[in-house]
Amino acid sequence: MAAEIVNHRSESGTEGASEPFDPAFALHRGGKMAITATVPLRDKDDLSLAYTPGVAKVCTAIAEQPDLVNDYTWKSQVVAVVTDGTAVLGLGDIGPEASLPVMEGKAILFKQFGGVDAVPIALATTDVDEIVETVVRLAPSFGGVNLEDISAPRCFEIERKLQERLDIPVFHDDQHGTAIVSLAALRNAAKLTGRTLGDLRAVISGAGAAGVAITKFLLSAGIGDIAVADRRGVVSRDRDDLTEVKREIAELTNKAGLSGSLESAMAGADVFIGVSGGTVSEEAVAAMAPNAFVFAMANPNPEVHPDVAHKYAAVVATGRSDYPNQINNVLAFPGLFAGALQVRASRITEGMKIAAADAIAGVVGDDLAADCVIPSPFDERVAPAVAAAVAAAARAEGVARR
């Protein structure tokens, strides 16, 4: 890292000229995004309309009829991307400043893949109530809130409290984005092998933000059974060391009454979903049911290497872009917010998330194959399909306001 920083400085010619060029620092210099005007400012007439005195007419109209803010400002087209920097990628708790390149990246993904403007907001606090109060005070400027890279279990409470207080969508992408794309891939994998979601027993490695969200979402979608494992083994009712969140998971899952290690729970399982890191033995994968699915999504090192998984599994997916079937959140959140903003939804419901997953799965269509149960992030059909499905679901569920 020290060499990289020296190399970064050498870009400005101050030092380290002998260091090799690093394209990552070159790309990030000056940041990855900017705010640009959507109206001309060529002369005093333009200025008088865009600013004073013309702007006063619009302000007065909004003061008299607050809903007009959605028509005459950017509010209904922009999302706040909010983090406290406590769970950034695979880097962990690196703080708000160090998280900002990731939040900028998230913002440009919103724009590139969904046509949605987004503003990175990195907060210098990890206190739940301070984060909630700050976002509530910022909310008049935004049509939605995307929570990002906030560690569990605080992320659950922050999302819940914000949605209780705000009438705009609040969405923690590390939870729900991963769950949506996982369901889409799982639906297609089941279809490919002549099964339904209800036929499947899954084992999920990880009881953090993504693991909990995937579990609840798959249950709401009708999966047969799920066993969730944390570092101490299967999350079961007989354990006395569970947090409140894990106690809830124990009540909802594990119809088979399993206990013990993750690897013992995998025996005979139809699905393995990894969102925890670590390594799962080849023997555990070999003990899964015939035509099993292995979704090993830890980055950069999957819990099960694809070469190992392919020996035993009918469908293999990872979180990496250099293997087929990448479970990538960018398939979900740009279109999801585009659809929600389009109808000015007050929240994102389970029905809207399931509609998003079904739309993603449907894009694959006739291309369905073991190495194609999920579309590419660069498939231009994805975001429009998700946006349309989410908007329709919002209207059906009564959370749309136009």
Q: Read off the pTM.
A: 0.91
CATH class of 174-402: alpha beta
Q: From 32, 38, 316, select the one nearest 193 (Cα to Cα).
A: 316
Which residues of the chain form CATH 3.40.50.720?
A: 174-402
- For the chain, give the mean pLDDT: 93
pLDDT on residue 163: 96
How far apart, in Å, are the Cα atoms of 108 and each of 102, 116, 277?
A: 10, 9, 27
Query: For position 4, what pLDDT does the model report?
Result: 47
**Of residues 305, 304, 152, 299, the one with CA closest to residue 230:** 152
**CATH placement of domain 78-168:** 3.40.50.10380
AA identity, residue 49:
L
Instruction: Delimit the CATH 3.40.50.10380 region(s) of the chain.
Output: 78-168
Residues placed in the known binding site for a divalent metal cation: 148-149, 174
Question: Strand pairing partners for 272?
Answer: 203, 294
Distances (CA, A) of 145 to 43, 98, 270: 36, 20, 35
For the chain, which ranges sit under pLDDT 50? 1-6, 8-17
Question: Which residues carry out catalysis?
Answer: 51, 106
- Residue 353 confidence (pLDDT): 97
Closest among 177, 212, 172, 180 to 87, alpha carbons compared? 172
The two counts, helices (H) then strands (E), for the chain are: 17, 10
pLDDT of residue 89: 83
pLDDT at 14: 46
What is the tens place of the pLDDT at every residue in 281-317?
Answer: 999 999 999 999 999 999 888 999 999 999 999 999 9
The whole-number pLDDT of residue 242 equals 93
Tell me the torsion sign for CA atoms 313, 319, 321, 326.
positive
- pLDDT score of 278: 86
Beta strands, E only, 248-319 = 271-274, 292-296, 313-318
What confidence tens digit (pLDDT) does each residue in 354-369 have?
999 999 999 999 999 9
Q: What gap in Å lies between CA 264 and CA 267, rounded to an integer?
A: 6
The pLDDT, as a whole number, for residue 18 is 53
